[in-house]
Chains A and B, each alone.
Chain A
Amino acid sequence: MSRVAPAPWSTTDTLPRSDGARVDHLVVLGLVPPSARVLDIGCGDGTLLTLLRDRRGIDGRGIELSREGVNACLARGLPVIQGDADTDLANYPDDAFDVVVLSQTIQATRNPRIVLEHLLRIGRQVVISFPNFGHWRVRSELAFRGRMPVTELMPEEWYETQNIHHCTIRDFVGLCRTVGAQIEKATALDARGRPMRISMPWWVWNLFGAQGVFLLRRGDGSPSDAV
């Protein structure tokens, strides 16, 4: 599973670094308890799994679309399968993992709702991040240029991008409600990858957040009370 190309509202490649680690990875690091069983979907070359293994002593597994990524993971001793979120989640048993991570990938899946339902089924907690299509830069591209946004940070044209199911932070909150997911924590990262102030209302996140990062768990069946 490849991570999406860096988008103007998704600044994964320009995030400030600490100990050489990406800020969104550090956010995940802060959420994962020690010795947890973790599944990283779209794990790339295994950077996040290695970070979690070294810092948290986790039992990590991965799914990655690219052969190069899988080979890099093999060399790091990580059990990673070549596959994708659409086809390779159904066989994991319920509660197979303490934490399931899906970074910058849900917008590239064929069926985001089914993927999210599987994530909630196989993981006790789900960490999910995605580029926010409601970011003001995207809106202005559409509003003033009338074009799908293409910038130096997001070089792919609409007909080339793997991102087939874009959503805004509010859209995602709506999907969480639809599938009965409970939002335990949520944050938005600004265009420089820094977490925005927690006290901001959803509409501010939706306008100024370049990406949303959510910690979810299975709901108790009642609709989520998220805004």
Chain B
Amino acid sequence: MTMSLDSLARPDEGNLRQDGIPTDAPPSLDPRSPVALFGLDEPLAMDAGVDLAPFRIAYQTAGTLNADRSNAVLICHALTGDQHFAHTHPVTGKRGWWETLVGPGKPIDTDRYFVICSNVIGSCMGSTGPASTDPATGKPYGLDFPLVTIRDMVRGQAMLLDRLGIRDLFLCVGGSMGGMQVLQWAALYPDRVFAAMPIATGARHSAQNIAFHEVGRQAIMADPAWAEGRYLEAGTRPAKGLGVARMGAHITYLSEPALHRKFGRRFQGGHAPTFSFNADFQIESYLRHQGLSFVERFDANAYLYLTRAMDYFDLAADHGGVLANAFRNTRTRFCVMSFTSDWLFPTADSRAIVHALNAASAPVAFVEIESDKGHDAFLLDEPVMFNAAKGFVDAAARARGL
């Protein structure tokens, strides 16, 4: 028997409004995707010590779950990503963000696997987060929303899988913050992950990365329109602060060679300097555009919460300071990938994961991919990454009898 997941949950206009989208919500809060609702009897036990209830998880799927329910793939999205991995984005109208890797005939083949991606807890694309309505007050949570951790996100995803009737995953895959979730999945639910593919990620957030995040958060908080986090009620939006945060962060996703190749020192419109603070250089214009387009689709408080979740991530610290302890006796097979020009999550971070897996005697493959595209390479057209992913996924499927 095969089943369509469409029958399990559907977006329901009544539920959506009831469950926390403010009536004047920005369009980004309407997920336009299936939503799983969890009531007061099914709270999410969060690391902050709070039982979150009710809450909801918006998700997307592609492909068909097989009769054995053994072909499920969970994609974990990155910081500002969402569940629309292979679907047109409801706000931007852009194609799915991982259609390079996932789709019919792709390394993660939706003709063979049932692929799920859910918006993480704390985000703003339909899952419960700081922009959702606090049932205690009837107003948006704002900063009253409990701090979120990577582990909270993973616990929420596990509850979603329970709801969908999926006991274990054939594959758990993600890049950057998504890779952190993959590692957390393997550590928290080793029996539920057959194969894991963490890409361009680390087992902890570095001091440098925390520093970049703090700059972004301070930019948001310095915007008067942020209104101490109560901008939804105030009817304002901290677009300037969030835009600056995005501009700074975007630089860390690229690399100097990629920036040079794309923009160099070229002037906008080809003219000489205007002797002003206009966006003379193409790179300035590009960054301003990145900032502007980001605020159209993302909630400022969600950005605060999700950057904090990454900062707090330190898988070794959760296991007595020894990363290998996170993977003791694991039977999950791993494929770790990094990119040569990624300075946000450099290869050394991936190597630390690999060495810990070696110390835990886990089966692990590791490949560093030559690319000058920086951290964002995992989202781009990287044939070497696709080949490596296909080799790993195909072999894992053979081992699982898929």
Binding site for B on A (CB under 8 A): 61, 67, 70-71, 73-83, 88, 90-93, 96
Contact = CB atoms under 8 A, between A and B. Distances in A.
B333 interface: yes
B312 interface: no
Given A67-B369, A67-B370, A70-B365, A75 B358 contact: no
Interface in B349-402: 351, 354-356, 358-359, 361, 363-370, 384, 387-388, 390-392, 394-396, 398-399
In which size bucket is the chain B interface? 20 to 34
A70 B361 contact: no
Given A70-B366, A77-B391, A81-B364, 5 more contacts: A67-B367, A80-B365, A81-B358, A81-B365, A82-B366
Contact of A92 (B336, B358, B388): B358
B350 to A, nearest CB: 10
B359 A77 contact: no
A71 B367 contact: yes
B173 interface: no
A93 B324 CA distance: 11
Nearest to A97: B361
Interface of B: 324, 333-336, 351, 354-356, 358-359, 361, 363-370, 384, 387-388, 390-392, 394-396, 398-399
A82 B339 CA distance: 12
Contact of A77 (B336, B354, B358, B395): B395
A92 B365 contact: no
B15 to A, nearest CB: 43
A149 B137 CA distance: 83
B356 A75 contact: no
Given A71-B384, A71-B387, A71-B388, A79 B363 contact: yes
Contacts of A70: 365-367, 388
- Interface core residue of A83, A91, A93 (most chain B CB under 10 Å): A91
Contacts of A80: 365-366
11 contacts: A70-B367, A74-B335, A74-B367, A74-B388, A75-B387, A81-B358, A81-B364, A83-B351, A88-B355, A92-B359, A92-B361
- Interface core residue of A67, A79, A83 (most chain B CB under 10 Å): A79
Given A74-B388, A74-B392, A75-B395, A93 B359 contact: yes
A79 B388 contact: no
Given A75-B394, A77-B395, A91 B359 contact: yes
Contacts of A91: 324, 355-356, 358-359
Contact of B368 (A74, A76, A82, A96): A82
Contacts of B363: 61, 79
Contacts of A74: 335, 365, 367, 388, 391-392, 395
B383 to A, nearest CB: 11
A77 B366 contact: no
Contacts of B333: 79
Nearest to A75: B391
Nearest to A70: B367
Contacts of B392: 74
Closest 6 CB pairs between A and B? A77-B395, A74-B391, A75-B391, A81-B366, A91-B355, A79-B363
B367 A88 contact: no
Contacts of A93: 359, 361
A203 to B, nearest CB: 40
Contacts of A77: 391, 394-396, 398-399
Contacts of A90: 355
Nearest to A79: B363
A95 to B, nearest CB: 10
Nearest to B323: A91
B361 A79 contact: no
A92 B361 CA distance: 7
Contacts of A83: 351, 354, 366
Nearest to B324: A91
- Interface core residue of A71, A75, A81, A90 (most chain B CB under 10 Å): A81
